[in-house]
Structure 1
Amino acid sequence: MPRVSDEHLAARRRQILDAARRCFLRDGFHNTSMQDVIAEAGLSVGAVYRYFPSKNDLITAIAQSVIGGAETVFAELAAADPPLPLAETLDRALAYVDAQTGPDGILRLAIQVWSEAQRDPALAEFVAATYAGFRKHFVAIARRARDAGELPPDADPEAVGAALFGLVPGYFMQRILTGSPDRASYLAGVRALVRRAG
Structure 2
Amino acid sequence: MPKVSQEYADARRLQILDAAQRCFLRAGFHETSMQDIFAECGLSSGAVYLYFPGKDALVLELARENLRDVSEVVRRLSRSGTSQAPGKVLSSVLSLMRKKHRENGFATLLVQIWSKALTDPQLGEVFRTLQRELRDEFTDYVREHQAASSMSAHRDPAAVAGALLGSMQGYILQLAMYGPRGVDGMADALAGVWTQALSGENLS
Report the TM-score, using the length of structure 2 for normalisation. Answer: 0.88
Q: How far apart are residue 181 of structure 1 and its match?
A: 5.0
Task: Give the aligned partner of residue 144 of structure 2.
Answer: 144
For the aligned residue pairs, the C-alpha RMSD in angstroms reads 2.0
Of structures 1 and 2, the one with the larger relative CO (CA 8 A, separation 6+) is: 2
C-alpha contact 1:74 1:93 (8 A) present in aligned 2: yes
C-alpha contact 1:66 1:107 (8 A) present in aligned 2: no
Q: How far apart are residue 13 of structure 1 and its match?
A: 1.0
Instruction: Identify unmatched segments of 5+ residues in structure 2.
Output: none
Q: Within 5 Å, which residues of 2 pair with 1:1-198?
A: 2-102=2-102, 104-178=104-178, 179-180=182-183, 182=185, 183-190=187-194, 195-197=201-203
Give the partner amino acid of 1:184: D
Separation in 1, partners of 2:170, 2:202: 20
Distance change >3 Å, CA 150–CA 34, structure 1 → 2: same
Q: How far apart are residue 154 of structure 1 and its match?
A: 3.5
Q: Where do 4+ consecutive residues of structure 1 move more than 6 Å? A: none
Q: How far apart are residue 2 of structure 1 and its match?
A: 4.1
Separation in 1, partners of 2:95, 2:120: 31
Q: How far apart are residue 190 of structure 1 and its match?
A: 4.6
Instruction: Identify unmatched segments of 5+ residues in structure 1.
Output: none
Q: How far apart are residue 90 of structure 1 and its match?
A: 1.4
Q: How far apart are residue 61 of structure 1 and its match?
A: 0.9
Report the TM-score, using the length of structure 1 for normalisation. Answer: 0.90
Separation in 2, partners of 1:4, 1:136: 39
